[in-house]
């Protein structure tokens, strides 16, 4: 148990530069939420459902992070500024995943059984993103802030937008330090720039055509 607490504390220390001393870790909602989750999940697996829910609801009130005790979470989950984070019952989260505030890993209201997403290793989901439905977000992927993801995400992908679209893919592993949740591609601006170039080209062609007709 001591080793578990030590491992969870190290995850936060390694990923949050704001920490000035190891003791600060115990004040973090992420740390307390994960500790409460591990306890409630153990109760849930032993079919003590009421007690499991009681622990998880207590943790929600104390931390602002709601993790259903039935969720399956690997090692190294880091929830940064976790207010408003929701993790559904059938969610599966791999190792070294990072979630920011306001993230929802939920269902779409139409499915039964496995109705929440599977998040593979080394995924980063930025602030306010919603991942809804029973599908997989592939390893080493990034979900942009405010995105609404409703379908499968291949490994090594960057997803932005509402609904979410894959705008970038890499065939090499993405180290954690490269997971930049700020400098995401702007798909709307990219489309505007492409349209602007197209209009300029058409105007140039039209002007050349009119010039030729005038000479004729």
Condensed to tens digits (0 to 9), the pLDDT of residues 56-67 reads 999 999 999 999
Same domain, 118 and 202: no
Give residue 216's pLDDT band: very low, low, confident or very high (50, 70, 90). low
Query: What's the CATH number where 110 sits?
Result: 2.160.10.10
Same domain, 14 and 78: yes
pLDDT single digits (tens) 128-143:
999 999 999 999 999 9
Calculated CA dihedral for residues 133, 134, 139, 143, nearest 10 degrees: 0
Same domain, 173 and 198: no
* Model pLDDT, residue 172: 46
| Three-state secondary structure call for residue 91 | coil
pLDDT single digits (tens) 10-23:
777 777 777 777 77
Same domain, 15 and 98: yes
Same domain, 174 and 194: no
Count of structural domains within the chain: 2
Residue 24 vs residue 68, higher pLDDT? 68
For the cut 50, the answer to whether the pLDDT of residue 54 exceeds it is yes
Same domain, 126 and 66: yes
For the cut 70, the answer to whether the pLDDT of residue 164 exceeds it is yes
Same domain, 207 and 115: no
Same domain, 159 and 214: no
Mean pLDDT of 160-187: 64
Q: Cα(132)–Cα(153) distance, rounded to whole angstroms? A: 12
Top-confidence range, 69-78, 109-118, 171-180, 202-211: 69-78
190 lies in which domain range? 186-216
Beta strands in the chain (DSSP E): 66-67, 72-73, 78-80, 86-87, 92-93, 98-100, 104-106, 118-119, 124-125, 130-132, 136-137, 142-143, 148-149, 157-160, 165-169
Q: Cα(30)–Cα(103) distance, rounded to whole angstroms? A: 13
Q: Cα(66)–Cα(37) distance, rounded to whole angstroms? A: 9
* Model pLDDT, residue 115: 92
Same domain, 91 and 191: no
Same domain, 180 and 198: no
Same domain, 176 and 199: no
Same domain, 197 and 145: no
């Amino acid at each position: 148990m001591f080793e578990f607490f030590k491992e969870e504390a190290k995850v936060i220390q390694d990923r949050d530069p704001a920490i000035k001393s190891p003791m600060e870790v115990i004040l973090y909602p992420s740390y307390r939420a994960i500790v409460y989750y591990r306890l409630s999940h153990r109760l849930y697996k032993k079919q003590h459902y009421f007690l499991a829910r009681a622990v998880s609801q207590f943790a929600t009130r104390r931390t602002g992070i709601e993790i259903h005790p039935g969720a399956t979470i690997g090692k190294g989950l880091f929830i940064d500024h976790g207010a408003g984070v929701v993790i559904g019952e059938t969610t599966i989260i791999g190792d070294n995943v990072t979630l920011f505030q306001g993230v929802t890993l939920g269902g779409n209201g139409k499915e039964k059984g496995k109705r929440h997403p599977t998040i593979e290793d080394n995924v980063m989901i930025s602030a306010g993103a919603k991942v809804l439905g029973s599908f997989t977000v592939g390893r080493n992927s990034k979900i942009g802030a405010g995105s609404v993801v409703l379908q499968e995400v291949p490994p090594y992908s960057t997803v932005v937008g509402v609904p979410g679209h894959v705008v970038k893919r890499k065939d090499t592993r993405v180290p954690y330090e490269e997971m930049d949740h700020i400098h995401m591609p702007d798909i709307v601006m990219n489309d505007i720039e492409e349209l602007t170039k197209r209009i300029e080209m058409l105007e140039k062609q039209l002007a050349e055509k009119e010039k030729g007709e005038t000479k004729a």
